[in-house]
Amino acid sequence: MLRGRCTLLNWLVSTMSEKQKYQRTEKSQALLDKVETPKYDRQILIGLKKFLNGTAPEDMQSLYSAEELTVLQGLQGTDKDVEARMPVKITRHYYELAKNSAPLQTLVKASPSETWDLEGAADPGKQMAYSPIEGLIHKYELGLIYVVSTCSAHCRFCYREELIARKTITREDGTTAPKGMAQIPDLVHYISEHNQIVKENGGRHPDTGREKLREILMSGGDPMVLNNKKLAEWFSSLGDVGIENIRIGTKELAFYPDRFDSTFFDMLDHFHEAYPGINLRFMVHFNHPDEFLQKDDQGEFIEDPDGGFVWVESTRRAVAELARRNWINIENQAPFIKGINNDPVAIRIMQRELKRHGVENHYFFCGRDIIGHRAFNLSIEEAWNLLNESQKGLSGVESHAKLSITHYLGKTEVVSVTNEPMPGVPGGENGVVIFKLLRGAADAHNKGQVAIVGRNPEAIWFSGYEDRVIYDEPGLFTESMQATSSVKLAVNS
């Protein structure tokens, strides 16, 4: 016991001294010295309060009707409080788009239906099981870090609602606290230690089988709400510790595209000059073409005489500036959400237009089992049908996107839904659904494995198929799916 304590003490002392040793490199400092950090005026409205007391700008006040505000006010302070589930936030730019778009209003407006059914997982994807240090999720070959806990506006369906609303999460050790943000010294220490162990062990970590950490996804929240200097500090620290690819998960191209201004691109270019081997991957988030296409007085998209449709100018400019840098990739990924984008025509136009402008169509997601997910999620079979219909008539390069649903084991593709009965197969009387594990945790030993279940058009989560499993190679239906539980919202007083 005493020996165990001494070992722990030694480890703590060495960990502390390693952390204290962390210092910005000269290269990183030289980069930061060149970075300009302007302030931005996003004209953000936070919370329902200004709508309720009539102090919101006059035109924006019309986003909610008087009846809607009365109902939402009546829920305040109860266990159905909509703002306690997910804070309300909108930018002027998004409001201008949303005033002519019912789907965009659904995306950003609080609705009483969100708290009718509060079933869901407090920690979707069981992320805390893969969090070796605060603010880092190391589940797959890449690491995901939380660098900020807000965005310029808030999507009502947000799959990070527990982070954005700063809810208390139960950790693996039984303690409870809101999810914390990653800190540069801790992360640098973790990456260098992990990669050193991997190197000494012939390319694999002896405990997890993972390879070297080469890629980090900066997430939250939206990293693009951080200023240029903070972003440059993250990028250079990750570059200095040997990270080769940095992902930036962002919806800022929809919420406030003017954030992608000349000072931001100057910072990126200085970074590239100092760290030429590092690839930046912008994981952008467009749910609907109304977020980037202009409309005429009849509400129709405007055809561009040069091909395709006319974009919102600030968004077009930002995407063009990203796309012309060959060390930057741009990938769109978005969930399918009821009342927002369950429209195959809109999704078809979106895939075509994004690809034309240099944005790859990466994933569409079935909604996660977040708290209140029944208000947002399409059934799995509806989502598959939606993607399949939307891709009819698209060329091969326009239809790269897969439909993914995130199981606790890893990202899983909904490969196909059949319409004909499968004779002689119990459970397959109405056709089957085929799932394939796209990515696996740790050493990804189960990647590529498939599961086949009988159809259930009502299923919005794996649990909807538990009673009709035909074949399950990766164990999608035997691993615990019991993370869903009714929770009480923390009501702001």
Give the residue, chosen from 123, 222, 291, 343, that forms a contact with ligand SF4 under the rule CB under 6 A: 222
Cβ at position 46, least distance to ligand SF4 in Å: 13
Give the residue, chosen from 93, 205, 212, 285, that forms a contact with ligand SF4 under the rule CB under 6 A: 285
Cβ at position 345, least distance to ligand SF4 in Å: 23
Q: Which is nearer to ligand SF4, 154 or 205 (CB)?
A: 154
Q: What does the chain come to in residues?
A: 493
CB 246 within 8 Å of CB 281: yes
Amino acid at 476: L
Cβ at position 367, least distance to ligand SF4 in Å: 11
CA distance 480 to 467: 14
Residue 333: both structure tokens together = 């990924």
Q: Rule CB under 6 A: is residue 154 a binding residue for ligand SF4? A: yes
Q: Rule CB under 6 A: is residue 151 a binding residue for ligand SF4? A: yes
Q: Which is nearer to ligand SF4, 289 or 427 (CB)?
A: 289
Cβ at position 324, least distance to ligand SF4 in Å: 25
Cβ at position 1, least distance to ligand SF4 in Å: 45
Q: Rule CB under 6 A: is residue 160 a binding residue for ligand SF4? A: yes
Q: Which is nearer to ligand SF4, 251 or 352 (CB)?
A: 251
Q: Rule CB under 6 A: is residue 155 a binding residue for ligand SF4? A: yes
Q: Which is nearer to ligand SF4, 222 or 413 (CB)?
A: 222
Q: Which is nearer to ligand SF4, 283 or 432 (CB)?
A: 283
**Region binding ligand SF4 by CB under 6 A among candidate stretches 155-163, 197-205, 208-216, 267-275:** 155-163
Q: Rule CB under 6 A: is residue 165 a binding residue for ligand SF4? A: no
196 CB burial (10 A radius; 0-12, 13-18, 19+): exposed
Q: Which is nearer to ligand SF4, 222 or 233 (CB)?
A: 222
Q: Which is nearer to ligand SF4, 301 or 376 (CB)?
A: 376
Q: Which is nearer to ligand SF4, 72 or 218 (CB)?
A: 218
Cβ at position 313, least distance to ligand SF4 in Å: 22
CA distance 426 to 469: 9
Count of alpha carbons within 13 Å of 417, Cβ hemisphere only? 18
Q: Rule CB under 6 A: is residue 251 a binding residue for ligand SF4? A: yes
Helix (H) or strand (E) segment spanning residue 15: helix 2-21
Helices (DSSP H) in 201-300: which residue ranges?
228-240, 252-255, 262-274
Cβ at position 155, least distance to ligand SF4 in Å: 3
Which one, of 222, 131, 217, 214, lies nearest residue 177 by Cα?
Answer: 131
Which one, of 298, 314, 309, 295, lies nearest residue 104 by Cα?
Answer: 295
Q: Rule CB under 6 A: is residue 212 a binding residue for ligand SF4? A: no
Could you tell me which residues come within 8 angstroms of residue 281 by beta carbon, excluding any fewer than 6 positions away? 245, 246, 247, 248, 328, 329, 330, 331
Strands (E), 12-153: 45-46, 89-90, 119-120, 136-137, 143-146
Cβ at position 463, least distance to ligand SF4 in Å: 23
Residue 302: both structure tokens together = 């405007």
CB 105 within 8 Å of CB 98: yes
CB 137 within 8 Å of CB 408: no
Cβ at position 217, least distance to ligand SF4 in Å: 12
92 CB burial (10 A radius; 0-12, 13-18, 19+): middle
Residues lying near ligand SF4 in the complex (CB under 6 A) are found at 151, 154-155, 158, 160, 164, 221-222, 251, 285
